[in-house]
Chains A and B, each alone.
Chain A
């Protein structure tokens, strides 16, 4: 398990060497900064795909995976705060794309991850995605509202995806195979997105 985490850390470290590809896009719901924060991550495939992948990973191992429900939102909060404290750090955009590969691969391989592994992966993912979401804040945005909006969106997305996945796989054993197939597709999407970004 430690070996797996070490490899993952290596992949993230390599990703940070690439130039940053974070494309901040401003999103306005007109309902205030909290709802803007909630909407922002769900308007970008760079966030939606890995978050769904994390949910699917949790669905395969609900007992251990539920620790991600704590670690991922915490990571997101840290990431947004980090952006406010140290803006324009390079590499997070690419790391997010690499996270699609990593999570897709983990879902496809159906590795028996421990609770600690889930917590580490989810927290690292959260920090990276939180940082990129933080870059979307305009000068007038209130971070005290925007950041919790991002955190809430992350929590809801992984919880509901994981619950739906766990619900289906408990009832139909074939769904587990479908889940792994989905993981391989996510991996392929990650390859395409990363390739496009680095081309």
Chain B
């Protein structure tokens, strides 16, 4: 039963891996930086676009503004009014606008296909609706990140494979969640800094470890993860949290709502993780109920596939550390 579910989930992830996820997976987000130069004049430029070479989305500024890249002239009224972004749903899942008025701190706004525009006032605090928009946007980004994050899902799959009791699985997944929430918050808030490429390589290695643990179990040896699954999940969860934070910090966070954005992103990650675990458990149950049996010769295949894919990522990420 576990073999079947694991094989299916592995196919899922192997296919996502083909899509270029061998390296750190890309969240398709674009960033537009707008910086005030003088009264009514701004410098507006896309600073982060897709690694895949997708063109930047089109920004539509308030009608009284004229934009000749990179200069934005809004006259005496300044940048007040609605800014919207086109082609959001087609190419990018979101756009972050980093807006810096002269002498003020940078404000970040996240636009999504559901809310592709932002209203700039002359200043002032955030309304309840704006906070709800922000939460919705970051929950979606977190959800998307985990579903495209094949490496994180593969690690969770390995844990599901190794942990036999449902109660222990709950504790293990909870430990993983708590741990990655810690490091996600710490790294995003700037309390700790870890090099991104090293983290990505180490994450790949953590999956190789889980693959080896599965092989051990099949040979009748009781490894560390089988003995203390939640401890292993917690330890590696700390590592995976750094991986999540790399994606989040690339987006730029709204400085006045950083905790809310962080919390929302984490909620999105958890929703995605729970959905994945639920699907794997449902497939296990389905196979059990339908009495689906696999040839015993297939036993080692999932574990070697997990280990093989992860080692491929590890080598690729290590080479990136030293070649660029």
Chain B 270-296, CB within 8 Å of chain A: the 1/0 string?
000000000100110111011110000
Which residue of chain B has its CB nearest to the CB of A152?
B12
B292 touches A66 (CB 8 A): yes
A34 touches B291 (CB 8 A): no
A30-B113, A152-B8 given as contacts; is B15 within 8 A of A166 (CB)? Answer: no
Does A75 sit within 8 A of B, measured CB to CB?
no
Q: Provide the residues of chain B in CB contact with A69, threshold 8 Å.
A: 290, 292
Chain A 136-161, CB within 8 Å of chain B: the 1/0 string?
00000010110011001001100110
Does A10 sit within 8 A of B, measured CB to CB?
no
A155 touches B147 (CB 8 A): no
Tell me, in angstroms, the Cα distance from A58 to B291 when the chains sit together. Answer: 12
Does B69 sit within 8 A of A, measured CB to CB?
no
B289 touches A144 (CB 8 A): no
Does A100 sit within 8 A of B, measured CB to CB?
no
Q: Provide the residues of chain B in CB contact with A62, threshold 8 Å.
A: 289-291
Does A44 sit within 8 A of B, measured CB to CB?
no
A166 touches B147 (CB 8 A): no
Does A167 sit within 8 A of B, measured CB to CB?
yes
A32 touches B89 (CB 8 A): no
Q: Provide the residues of chain B in CB contact with A163, threshold 8 Å.
A: 285-287, 289-290
Q: In residues 1-57 of chain B, which contact A (Cβ within 8 Å)?
A: 8, 11-12, 15-16, 18-19, 28
Tell me, in angstroms, the Cα distance from A28 to B87 when the chains sit together. Answer: 13
B8 touches A32 (CB 8 A): no
Q: In residues 82-109 of chain B, which contact A (Cβ within 8 Å)?
A: 89-90, 93
B282 touches A160 (CB 8 A): yes
Tell me, in angstroms, the Cα distance from A170 to B285 when the chains sit together. Answer: 15
Which residue of chain A has its CB nearest to the CB of B12?
A152
Tell me, in angstroms, the Cα distance from A103 to B16 when the chains sit together. Answer: 33
B289 touches A166 (CB 8 A): yes
Chain A: interface residue total (CB-CB under 8 A): 27
Q: In residues 77-91 of chain A, which contact B (Cβ within 8 Å)?
A: none
Q: Provide the residues of chain A in CB contact with B8, threshold 8 Å.
A: 152, 155
Q: Provide the residues of chain A in CB contact with B289, threshold 8 Å.
A: 62, 163, 166-167
Q: In residues 44-72 of chain A, which contact B (Cβ within 8 Å)?
A: 58, 62-63, 65-66, 69
Tell me, in angstroms, the Cα distance from A112 to B226 when the chains sit together. Answer: 44
A69-B290, A159-B283, A160-B282 given as contacts; is B148 within 8 A of A144 (CB)? Answer: no
Tell me, in angstroms, the Cα distance from A72 to B148 when the chains sit together. Answer: 26
Which residue of chain B has its CB nearest to the CB of A161?
B286
Does A31 sit within 8 A of B, measured CB to CB?
yes
A66 touches B286 (CB 8 A): no
Q: In residues 129-148 of chain B, which contact A (Cβ within 8 Å)?
A: 144, 147-148
Residue in A63, A155, A163 whose Cβ sees the most chain B Cβ within 10 Å: A163
Name the distance in Å between B53's Cβ and chain A's nearest Cβ.
13
A66-B291, A159-B287, A167-B289 given as contacts; is B15 within 8 A of A34 (CB)? Answer: yes
Q: Provide the residues of chain B in CB contact with A35, threshold 8 Å.
A: 147
B286 touches A31 (CB 8 A): no
Q: Provide the residues of chain A in CB contact with B18, threshold 8 Å.
A: 144-145
Contact partner, B291, options A31, A63, A155, A159, Cβ 8 Å = A63
Does A162 sit within 8 A of B, measured CB to CB?
yes
A65-B290, A69-B290, A156-B279 given as contacts; is B15 within 8 A of A31 (CB)? Answer: no
Which residue of chain A has its CB nearest to the CB of B92?
A30
**A and B contact pairs by CB, cutoff 8 A, 24 listed:** A28-B89, A31-B144, A31-B148, A32-B19, A33-B19, A34-B15, A34-B16, A62-B291, A65-B290, A69-B290, A145-B18, A148-B11, A148-B12, A152-B8, A152-B11, A155-B8, A159-B283, A159-B286, A159-B287, A159-B290, A160-B283, A160-B286, A162-B286, A163-B286
Which B residues fall within an 8 A CB radius of A? 8, 11-12, 15-16, 18-19, 28, 89-90, 93, 113, 144, 147-148, 279, 282-283, 285-287, 289-292
A-B residue pairs, 9 tightest by C-beta = A163-B286, A163-B289, A159-B286, A148-B15, A30-B93, A66-B290, A62-B290, A167-B289, A160-B286
